[in-house]
Amino acid sequence: MKQIAFVSGKGGTGKSTLVSSLCQLVADKMVADCDVEAPNLHLLITGEELNKADYYGAKEAVKDAAKCRKCGLCYDACRFAAISDEYEIISLNCEGCGACALVCPAEAISLEEVKTGQTYLTKTLQGTFSHALLDIGAEGSGKLVTEVRRKIFTSHEQEKWLLIDGSPGIGCVVIASITGTDAVVIVTEPTKSGVSDLERVLAAARHFQIPSFVCINKYDLNPEMAAQIEEYCRQHDCPVIGRIPFDQKVVKALQAGKTPVEAGNIQVTREIEKLWQRLTAALGA
């Protein structure tokens, strides 16, 4: 199986829009939504829930008040301001490192597993679909992404492709989404912000030595900026495999919970098909 991660650096450039379209066009694939903080793909591809589970992806210090002697050693050891002046644990700040438990002479503090999110495995017409939702404000989003990717393989299906919808940024969540993939497709838009963020996320993909490709979404909104992206990609030896035109009909389709392919714009659909052909050719598949 080959795994393809769709990322963008900048948010809102059209990752989920593109992945949901590919879901309609590509056969023999599974799908994972690794944007666990603000997942959207499940709004466009739905089906029968196979499995739903709580995910315990972090630990948190818990104090036994009866044993606490209020000596303050925990307060001194904590580097995350997670112990209050009254030596209570402030769970929102707690990283679950256990330094407080290590120094407590009364063994009043222990680490407990905490739920950080919910994972879902769904059977859809487009293939098996793994996704998750991080608990609001929780730690360990990267670990939850790894769990989403692990869970897709529990279905034991022998598909040819895994399409991964990534998240914005270049940090832990994105690293967890692209690690070990066969290719990264960076979805960008012809804006100054899009270009700036493309540069950083391409550098990140290169840092992990993953073959990278670029898709310029809404490329006709600013032809000058699109040309600048093409030039940048040429200089950095990164193939531009898609140039998707802007279409108000696509916006309307999304508002109705439909994918761009379902919007019926032949030009958009053909361009997405071409993107996939170029990608698979480049990967020798």
Partner 1 sequence: MKIAVLSGKGGTGKTTVAASLAASLPACQYIDCDVEEPNGYIFLSPKLTDTVPVYVPIPEVDATKCSGCGSCAQVCQFNALAVVKGQVLVFPEICHHCGACLLACPEGAISETDREIGVIEANADNTFLHGKLKIGEPISIPIIRQLKERLHQELPVVLDCPPGASCAVVQAITGCDYCILVAEPTPFGLHDLQIAVQLVKMLQLPCGVVINKAAPDNKTVQEFCAREGVELLLEIPFSQAIAAAYSRGILPTTAYPDWQDKFRALYHKIEERVQQ
CB of 280 to partner 1, least distance (A): 27
Contact predicate 120/47, CB 8 Å = no
CB of 56 to partner 1, least distance (A): 13
Contact predicate 21/272, CB 8 Å = yes
- Between residues 251 and 281, which has the closer beta carbon with respect to partner 1? 251
CA–centroid distance for 219 within its chain: 23
CB of 11 to partner 1, least distance (A): 1
Contact predicate 210/181, CB 8 Å = yes
**Interface residues with partner 1 (CB under 8 A)?**
8-13, 16, 37-38, 40, 43, 59, 77, 79-80, 92, 95-99, 102-103, 111, 134, 136-139, 141-142, 167-175, 189-193, 196-197, 200-201, 203-204, 207-208, 221-222, 225, 251, 254-255, 257
- Between residues 190 and 242, which has the closer beta carbon with respect to partner 1? 190
Q: Give the residue from 108, 149, 120 showing the smallest Cα distance to 53.
A: 120
CB of 54 to partner 1, least distance (A): 17
- Between residues 142 and 242, which has the closer beta carbon with respect to partner 1? 142
User: Cα(183)–Cα(173) distance, rounded to whole angstroms?
Assistant: 17
CB of 256 to partner 1, least distance (A): 8
- The CA dihedral of 209, 29, 177, 9, to the nearest 10 degrees, is 80
User: Cα(41)–Cα(133) distance, rounded to whole angstroms?
Assistant: 12
Concatenated DSSP letters for 79-138? Answer: SSS-B-TTS-B-TTT-----HHHHH-TT--EEEEEEEEEEEEEEEETTEEEEEEEEPTT-
- Between residues 68 and 97, which has the closer beta carbon with respect to partner 1? 97
Concatenated DSSP letters for 242-263? Answer: EEEPP-HHHHHHHHTT--HHHH
CB of 209 to partner 1, least distance (A): 11
CB of 145 to partner 1, least distance (A): 11
- Between residues 134 and 279, which has the closer beta carbon with respect to partner 1? 134
- Between residues 159 and 216, which has the closer beta carbon with respect to partner 1? 216
- Between residues 133 and 272, which has the closer beta carbon with respect to partner 1? 133
Q: Which two three-digit tokens encode residue 170?
A: 């270049």
Contacts of 261 (CB under 8 A, 6+ apart): 21, 24, 25, 268, 269, 272
